[in-house]
């Protein structure tokens, strides 16, 4: 029930975020072109990539609720991993476009309508800041939601930089500051994107999620009564919120095996953030420890 409520909140956050940012993109791009401000146009382009990213994340959230079938036996949960990866790629493309245009503009700085820049960017702080707040809670436990949060939080910070640049240009007439701010925007986006890209790649390659201590799980398994060996321990992210685990255990006895497995699954679920656990139990102790590469 709590999970359904969380999904509903996230769906509302995506809906509000897409609508607000779509309206703001039109406003920002229009004023950016009319005021000759590359900083505003660059930020509008970045906001467009954010809206596309939000739509993909929203689609992944919806797909994640679809039931499993004969072909997709885990359902479509891993679509959230693809969404996070696509979000990172969208941001990298935006960085490239902003940087090229800003470098070209540095050679030929052009006047900008300072007050238009300041007012529109200030609106951007409100829009992006409010949208980021909608995703703040969910981003702690979901890389897909974290991607949306980072986009919006970075945009709010970028808009703040554009406001400050507008005031400086107003007081000094340093029109070259507009493309410089655009380059700084690109750097800020790159910093925020790198961690997202790294995490999304790790999930795509089925690495052990950062919130999982594999050695702690191994130690816990070995501490269970009658367990004398652990091998073929594998842990990977099924989605950006769910983690799967498979393991082979050797026991000194198979007595009460069903009770043992029931207690083991409950203990693992209670102590570690794993949601799909598969345990194979064998009697005795195997002789091929050296073949276990999961350590």
Say what the pLDDT of residue 295 is.
42
Predicted TM-score (pTM) above 0.95? no
List, for residues 12-70, the tens digit of each pLDDT value. Answer: 888 888 888 888 888 878 877 777 776 677 667 767 777 877 887 778 778 777 777 88
Say what the pLDDT of residue 171 is.
85
Average pLDDT (84-96) is 80
Say what the pLDDT of residue 216 is.
94
Mean pLDDT across the chain, nearest whole number?
Answer: 80
Does the pLDDT value for residue 2 go beyond 80? Answer: no
Average pLDDT (149-157) is 77
Say what the pLDDT of residue 48 is.
77
Say what the pLDDT of residue 293 is.
45
Query: Which residue segments constitute the domains of the chain, with CATH numbers given?
Result: 2-204 (1.20.1510.10), 214-291 (3.30.70.1350)
Task: Enter the tokens of residue 94.
Answer: 């935006």
Q: What is the 3-state secondary structure (H, E, C) of 170-233?
A: HHHCCCCHHHHHHHHHHHHHHHHHHHHHHHHHHHHCCCCCCCCCHHHHHHHHHCCCCEEEEEEE
Distance between terminal CA atoms of the chain? 37
Task: Enter the tokens of residue 249.
Answer: 């255990």
Say what the pLDDT of residue 191 is.
79
């Amino acid at each position: 029930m709590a999970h359904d409520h969380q999904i509903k909140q996230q769906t509302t956050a995506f809906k509000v975020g897409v609508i607000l940012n779509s309206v703001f993109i039109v406003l920002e791009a229009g004023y950016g072109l009319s005021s000759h401000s590359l900083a505003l146009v660059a930020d509008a382009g970045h906001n467009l990539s954010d809206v596309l990213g939000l739509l993909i994340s929203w689609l992944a959230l919806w797909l994640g609720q679809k039931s499993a079938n004969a072909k997709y036996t885990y359902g479509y949960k891993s679509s959230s991993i693809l969404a996070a990866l696509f979000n990172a790629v969208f941001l990298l493309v935006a960085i490239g476009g902003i940087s090229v245009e800003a470098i070209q503009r540095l050679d030929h700085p052009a006047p900008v309508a300072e007050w238009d820049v300041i007012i529109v960017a200030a609106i951007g702080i409100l829009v992006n800041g409010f949208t980021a707040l909608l995703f703040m809670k969910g981003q702690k436990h979901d890389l897909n939601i974290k991607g949306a949060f980072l986009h919006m939080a970075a945009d709010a910070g970028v808009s703040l930089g554009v406001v400050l640049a507008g005031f400086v240009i107003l007081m000094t007439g340093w029109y070259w500051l507009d493309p410089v701010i655009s380059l700084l925007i690109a750097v800020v986006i790159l910093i925020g994107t790198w961690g997202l890209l790294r995490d999304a790649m790790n999930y795509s390659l089925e690495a052990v999620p950062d919130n999982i201590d594999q050695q702690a799980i191994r130690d816990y398994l070995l501490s269970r009564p009658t367990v004398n060996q652990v091998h073929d321990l594998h842990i990977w992210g099924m989605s950006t919120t769910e983690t799967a685990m498979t393991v082979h255990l050797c026991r000194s006895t198979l007595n009460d095996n069903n009770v043992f497995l029931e207690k083991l699954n409950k203990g693992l679920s209670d102590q570690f953030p794993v949601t799909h656990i598969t345990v194979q139990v064998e009697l005795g102790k195997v002789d091929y420890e050296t073949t276990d590469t999961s350590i």
